[in-house]
Amino acid sequence: MADLPYVAWWQQFHDVELNQLIEAGLNNNMDIHIAIGNLQQAQGELKQVKLSWLPLVQILAGYSTNPALGAPGAFYGIWPYYFVNIMKLCAQQKQATYNVQFYHAAIEGMRLALIGQIASAYFTLIAQLEQLRLLQQLDSDLKSLIKLSQGDIKIGLENEIALAQLQTDERLIAAQIKPILHNIVLSENALRYLINANPGRINNKNNFAKIDFSRFKPGSLPATVLNNRPDLKMALYALKTAHAGIKVAYSDFFPGIQLDDFIGEVDLPNSTFADTTDAYVNWTLAPSTLGKIAASKGAYNAKAAEFNKTVRRILKEVDNDYSANRRMNEKFMAYLGAEKDYRHKYKLQQGLLKTGLISYKELLQSKIYLDNLALSTNLAKLELVMSLVILYQDLAGGYAYTQ
């Protein structure tokens, strides 16, 4: 379970199209590229702090009659200049380092969310395709039953009341097909968007009925799942960044050391080599620093509360996910068992039809009931796989996987 971030859990379904979609999404999705850009910005800010330890070099040339400088006249030279508040730079560097780690975790979080979104959209798509097939089969069976009923009416074996009910049922089923066709387009476009592609079709084998999702069980909840979650890492690094911000605020009370040296040539009465060195402490005590410290402490307290809130939320989410997955699995198995039992009855009735003990109309009525059971089982299966995907996502599965 501790290695779950490195496990490509979606590969256990042995679906080539799903594997390709997730790979394309991780490589091309714009949200991940945005997160990478934010990381690069944070890395640049850290580099800026690190380079602040180096001295500045100014190149000077000009003319001055300032008596404080000895009225040098024309001059030129270089002026190496170094000013450093050691505590401030140390605190700023630590703060920038935590900020970089925060955006590393943000990329991991984006990868985790993307894997879940693609898996959910893909399984929804193939479940909708299966639902479309089942609805079309049900509609066809209802139309066959309507034709039989119309024949029975002609010979006086049935009244038109039952026929009207069948025709109503068939119209309702036909109406359900229309939004399913639209939802299929929505799912395909959602997947294309997640892989940064234009709207279009998604290749799939429509193998939803063949995948056995009930045998996939991630296991029990260990404490290590907390350490795997990118959102907890982000909350932790945000907390550390805020704590470093307090030290940055306090560093305003510490002195800065300034060293500089002018090396060049000045034109007094005569051209002369000049070398002037300064070294002193710059200590500024600003009352506003107290407000800065108070603000930093407030920010830290807020991040501490957010961290605790994140811990509780993760534990709640994972516990809910386990419960949902367990109950959805039980629901699916109940529907699957009911469908299996009725399918057995239907096969027995097929035998009775051959011996003339029941009519084809009775068999067709059983077939329609079986069609409805299959639709309910398909929906229960989709609910099961959605609970499974959410569980893997909240267990932080797969975001660190690399081929």
- The domains of the chain are located at 4-394
Res 269: pLDDT:
62
pLDDT less than 50: residues of the chain: none
Residue 324 contacts by C-beta under 8 Å, 6 or more apart in sequence? Answer: 387, 390, 391
- Domain 4-394 classified CATH 3.30.360.10? no
- Is 386 exposed, middle or buried (CB count within 10 Å of its CB: 0-12, 13-18, 19+)? buried
Res 72: pLDDT:
65
Q: How far is CA 372 from CA 182, 234, 353, 356, 393, in A?
A: 21, 47, 21, 26, 32
Alpha helices per DSSP H over 195-287: 225-228, 230-250
**What are the E-state strand segments in 247-332?**
256-267, 271-282
pTM above 0.85, yes or no: yes
Res 56: pLDDT:
75
**By the 8 A CB rule, do 314 and 394 touch?**
yes
User: By 3-state DSSP, what share of the chain in percent is helix, strand and coil, each rounded to 5?
Assistant: 70, 10, 20
Query: Which residue, chain included where needed, has tokens 């051959």?
Result: 354
- The phi-psi region of residue 54 (left if phi > 0; otherwise alpha if psi is between -120 and 50; otherwise beta) is beta
Res 167: pLDDT:
92
DSSP for residue 260: E
Distance CA(138)–CA(120), nearest Å, equals 26
Distance CA(171)–CA(216), nearest Å, equals 38
